[in-house]
Amino acid sequence: MPILNPIEYFAKRNNAPLAASYDELKNTYRVLKNQSTNIKLNDNQRNIYGVARFPQTLAALTKVFEELHTRCDIKPKNVLDLGSGPGTGLFALAQSFPLEFSYTGVEKQPQFIAMSKDAIEHCLPGFLPTFHCGEILDQDLTTKYDLTLLSYVLSETPRANLEKTIDWALARTDGAMVIVDAGTKTSFEQLNHAREILINRGAKIVAPCPHMRACPLSASGDFCHFPAHVMRTEQLKKAKSGSASFEDEKFSYLIAVTNDALIKNPAFNRIVKKPMKRQGHVILDMCQKDGSLARQVIGKRAENYREAKRLLWGDAT
């Protein structure tokens, strides 16, 4: 576990005006994504990112690593983090695994690398990461990693480079690959294409999918995503000009393995929508092991009714 909470650290180091800077950050992402341009932030935007986006991405990654723990028998010894940003992946790993692994981050913005190193020095004193600055496809790395992470990278990757990026990452993975991105339809389309590539290359999808068939949500015009609960700091409330004490970060993800021996506790069904809990019954929308979508209505007389009432969006059954 981090000695100092990185969320608190980024909040303390920020001196940018909160609400105005957050609006500027949102507009920058919106404009550049519409232009299919690589997103590069200025110093002010990076500082506000640490306050207003780092907590959400940390929550999403932490939830995905919990699923990795559940579905895979893995204790990473070396980690490759592609698009490492301010070190979010490392801090999520530090909450999920013993700090007994080496860490290599690849990030195209040198200022984010500096931000990461500063945060690591304060929050994980004594931990020595390695960073490479530049585009992923330009890196000359020959090491095989037992955990490779692509965090909020695919949504910024041009479709023309997507297959090359997945192949590049897969060639350096000897264990598990984790992909996390925004819970939007556009980001999911990129992620679903990456899923198809991984399956075609022989990787095994472990989560969230309980099967290796075509995504039934995509076929129906919908998209697969899940929520991560985020407690709002006072600075985050000010940045978003709101008073709510929490929010849900929507995200999409994939966990794939290159070695079937890592798989444990395979999922049977996955709840892909928020359960509808009515008086006397619960309605569950599930992606099933046979590759189909199904809606199950569980009445209070059913043996599994109490269990069904406790199930959450994203749970496996």
Q: pLDDT, tens digit, for every residue of 141-150?
A: 999 999 999 9
Q: What tokens were used for 242?
A: 């709101």
Total count of domains within the chain:
2
Residue 316 included in any domain: no
Q: Same structural domain for residues 295 and 181?
A: no
Residue 158's alpha-carbon distances to 34, 35, 149, 204, 252, in angstroms, are 12, 11, 18, 25, 18
Q: Same structural domain for residues 147 and 275?
A: no
| pLDDT at residue 7 is higher than 90 | no
- Read off the pLDDT of each residue in 270-287 and give the average, rounded to a whole number: 95
Q: Same structural domain for residues 138 and 22?
A: yes
Pick the residue with more confidence: 245 or 191? 191
- Read off the pLDDT of each residue in 256-268 and give the average, rounded to a whole number: 89
pLDDT score for 15: 64
Q: Same structural domain for residues 284 and 191?
A: no
pLDDT score for 53: 85
The residue assigned the tokens 């695994």 is 97
Give the residue from 262, 278, 293 where a domain finishes. 262
Pick the residue with more confidence: 111 or 178? 178
pLDDT score for 259: 93
What's the residue count for the chain?
A: 317
Residue 83, amino acid: G
**Which residue from 267, 302, 261 is spatially nearest to 282, judged by alpha carbons?**
302
The residue assigned the tokens 């006072």 is 234
Q: Same structural domain for residues 170 and 112?
A: yes
Residue 317 included in any domain: no
- Read off the pLDDT of each residue in 214-234 and give the average, rounded to a whole number: 92
Give the residue from 227, 246, 262 where a domain finishes. 262
Q: Is 313 in a helix, a strand, or coil?
A: coil
Q: Same structural domain for residues 190 and 98?
A: yes
Q: How confident is the model at residue 36 (pLDDT cuts 50, 70, 90)?
A: very low
User: If you average pLDDT over every residue of the chain, what do you get?
Assistant: 89
Residue 74 included in any domain: yes
Q: Same structural domain for residues 190 and 131?
A: yes
Q: Same structural domain for residues 119 and 87?
A: yes
pLDDT score for 233: 73
**Bridge-based pairing state of the strands 145-151 and 78-82:** parallel
Residue 136 included in any domain: yes
Give the residue from 231, 246, 262 where a domain finishes. 262
Residue 25 included in any domain: yes
Supply the DSSP string of 230-265, one letter for each residue: EEPPHHHHHHTT---SEEEEEEEEEEEES-GGGB-S
| pLDDT at residue 22 is higher than 80 | no
Q: Same structural domain for residues 252 and 113?
A: yes
**Within 13 Å of residue 267, how many CA atoms lie on the same side as its CB?**
29
Mention every residue, 6+ apart, whose C-beta is less than 8 A from residue 56: 228, 230, 247, 249
Q: Same structural domain for residues 162 and 283?
A: no
- Read off the pLDDT of each residue in 83-101 and give the average, rounded to a whole number: 94
Residue 165 included in any domain: yes
**CA 168 – CA 183 distance, rounded (Å):** 24
pLDDT score for 244: 76
| pLDDT at residue 50 is higher than 80 | no
State pLDDT tens for residues 202-222: 999 999 999 999 999 999 999
| pLDDT at residue 2 is higher than 80 | no
E-assigned strand segments in the chain: 78-82, 102-107, 130-133, 145-151, 173-182, 204-207, 226-231, 246-257, 269-271, 276-278, 281-288, 293-299
Q: Same structural domain for residues 97 and 181?
A: yes
| Beta carbons of 137 and 172 less than 8 angstroms apart | no
**CA 305 – CA 290 distance, rounded (Å):** 23
Q: Same structural domain for residues 47 and 92?
A: yes
Residue 285, amino acid: D
Q: What CATH number is attached to the domain comprising 191?
A: 3.40.50.150
| Beta carbons of 24 and 45 less than 8 angstroms apart | yes
Q: Which domain holds residue 206?
A: 6-262
Residue 102 included in any domain: yes
Residue 1 included in any domain: no
